């Protein structure tokens, strides 16, 4: 058989990709990735082309400087393009990156450091490429270590969109099209120790683990009642169930400790991490388990390779992980995150007293959720379809994020499970001056939208802009 001929278009080079105009970028995204996501971004006025990034700042193709208060959903604890991470990668650029027939010293060093900074007796690490993969591995370890199948998880939780992680994610919107999912999942309310214990009793001898986020990220930055995590661990011990802490967003200093569960001196049986571990440069995920759990699962030669990852533990990713831990430790960024977060939350709570549109402020350290009241803008009904109206009413957080970006050059975004909440997860290197600027800018928006008129005007402008760009594309 002959070769299949290539399509007529020329292959795009790196140089050409860098030089693309915003219009070309949007066209390619519409035609080759996800056209409806472009529509949503444009509807909310969040589409930009950024051409440079450093620390807490990014610059668009018009030369405007923005402060990044989103931090890639908690992946940029050290900010953009941190020089020490880049310099560390240069040191290992000649080493083998992928070589499965030997033991990699960089990988073992990172595993050793994780055993030092994680709580209690956590010891054995498995490396992968993302938070979802870390969760998948943790769920598998729990099942093989206990010989049980059931997993308890929380309503509103988000653990990833791969099949196992999705099965223990607590929002039906992401699950309903992909059934049947992994069976024997049990959903309980977040923060309710009594419903959790009931589920453990009802599950009898089939519950392998309870997986929990110390702070629910995508649910809208939801913090549990004080003492809840400690009670969770006590219940897991009582009913011989493993506790899995999903610290993909909360880990590596985000909430004021290396890991959020350390605030209550809780030691889970398995702890998942990712995002910030790569220093904002490399994709890397991991879970770490105590010796007993690990050996029950994979502690024999015939079982030690039942769960593997081709790119997991590669030299470049683990070097970024080593450098990230070194920078956080050297600069005390995890401790400073608590101080800055307390200051930030206090400032935001002052605004809450004066502006009813600001419904709630919550979080710990530099993981903060700002929830806005739902709005109804009758004037928009004249210009949009019913589906678009529903989107606009649901995505109040997105509209606020749009104004922060377009008027004040501040980057934020809404949370997946509650779009009326914008998340604030800036680099841990954010300054008090930058925090003050955020609060001042948000107050100006709240004043402008006291009767929602400013938001209506901005939204209609974005709607028409979106429709015009769609026709042009």
**Which residues are part of the catalytic machinery?**
158, 246, 275
* CA–CA separation, 103 and 407 (whole Å): 52
Which residues lie below 8 Å from residue 472, measured CB to CB, with a gap of 6+?
A: none
Structure tokens at 435: 């925090």
Q: What is the 3-state secondary structure (H, E, C) of the chain?
A: CCCCCCCCCCCCCHHHHHCCCHHHHHHHHHHHCCHHHHHHHHHCCCCCCEEEEEECEEEECCCCEEEECCHHHHCCCCCECCHHHHHHHHHCCCCCCCCCCCCCHHHHHHHHHHHHHCCCCEEEEEEECCHHHHHHHHHHHHHHHHCCCEEEEECCCCCCCCHHHHHCCCCHHHCCCCCCCCCCEEEECCCCHHHHHHHHHHCCCCEEEEEECCCECCCCCECCCCCHHHHHHHHHHHCCCEEEEECCCCCCCCCCCCCHHHHHCCCCCEEEECHHHHCCCCCCEEEEEEHHHHHHHHCCCCCCCCCCCCCCCCHHHHHHHHHHHHHHHHHCHHHHHHHHHHHHHHHHHHHHCCCCCEEEEEEECCEEEEEECCCCCHHHHHCCCHHHHHHHHHCHHHHHHHHHHHHHCEECEEECCEEEEEEECCCCCCCHHHHHHHHHHHHHHHHHCCCCHHHHHHHHHHHHHHHHHHHHC
């Amino acid at each position: 058989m002959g070769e299949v001929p290539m399509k007529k278009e020329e292959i795009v080079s790196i140089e050409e990709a860098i030089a693309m105009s915003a219009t070309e970028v949007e066209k390619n995204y519409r035609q080759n990735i996800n056209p409806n996501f472009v529509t949503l971004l444009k509807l909310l006025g969040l589409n930009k082309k950024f051409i440079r990034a450093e620390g807490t700042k990014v610059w668009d193709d018009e030369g405007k400087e923005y402060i990044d208060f989103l931090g890639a959903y908690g992946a940029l604890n050290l900010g953009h393009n941190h020089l020490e991470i880049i310099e560390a990668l240069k040191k290992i650029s000649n080493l083998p990156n992928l070589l499965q027939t030997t033991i990699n010293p960089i990988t073992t060093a990172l595993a050793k450091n994780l055993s030092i900074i994680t709580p209690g007796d956590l010891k054995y690490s498995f490396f992968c490429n993302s938070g979802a993969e870390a969760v998948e591995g943790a769920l598998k370890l729990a099942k093989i270590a206990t010989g049980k199948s059931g997993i308890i998880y929380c309503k509103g939780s988000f653990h990833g969109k791969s099949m196992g992680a999705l099965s223990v994610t607590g929002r039906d919107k992401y699950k309903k099209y992909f059934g049947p999912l992994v069976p024997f999942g049990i959903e309980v309310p977040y923060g309710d120790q009594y419903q959790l214990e009931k589920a453990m009793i009802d599950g009898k001898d089939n519950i392998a683990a309870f997986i929990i986020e110390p702070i629910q990220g995508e649910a809208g930055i939801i913090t549990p009642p004080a003492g809840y995590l400690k009670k969770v661990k006590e219940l897991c011990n009582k009913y011989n169930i493993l506790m899995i802490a999903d610290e993909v967003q909360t880990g590596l200093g985000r909430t004021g400790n290396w890991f959020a569960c350390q605030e209550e001196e809780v030691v889970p049986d398995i702890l998942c991490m990712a995002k910030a571990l790569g220093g904002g440069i490399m994709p890397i995920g991991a879970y770490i388990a105590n010796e007993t759990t690990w050996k029950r699962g994979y502690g024999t030669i015939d079982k030690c390779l039942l769960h593997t990852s081709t790119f997991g533990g590669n030299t470049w990713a683990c070097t970024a992980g080593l450098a990230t831990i070194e920078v956080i430790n050297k600069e005390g960024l995890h401790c400073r995150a608590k101080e800055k977060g307390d200051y930030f939350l206090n400032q935001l709570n002052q605004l809450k007293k004066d502006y009813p549109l600001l419904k709630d402020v919550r979080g710990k350290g530099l993981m903060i959720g700002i929830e806005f009241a739902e709005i109804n803008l009758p004037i928009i009904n004249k210009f949009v379809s019913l589906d678009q109206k529903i989107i606009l009413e649901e995505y109040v957080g997105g509209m606020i994020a749009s104004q922060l970006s377009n008027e004040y050059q501040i980057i934020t975004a809404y949370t997946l499970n509650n779009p009326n909440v914008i998340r604030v997860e800036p680099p841990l290197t954010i300054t008090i001056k930058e925090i003050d600027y955020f609060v001042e800018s948000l107050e100006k928006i709240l004043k402008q939208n006291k009767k929602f008129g400013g938001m209506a005007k901005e939204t209609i402008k974005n709607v028409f802009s979106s429709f015009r760009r769609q026709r042009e594309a």
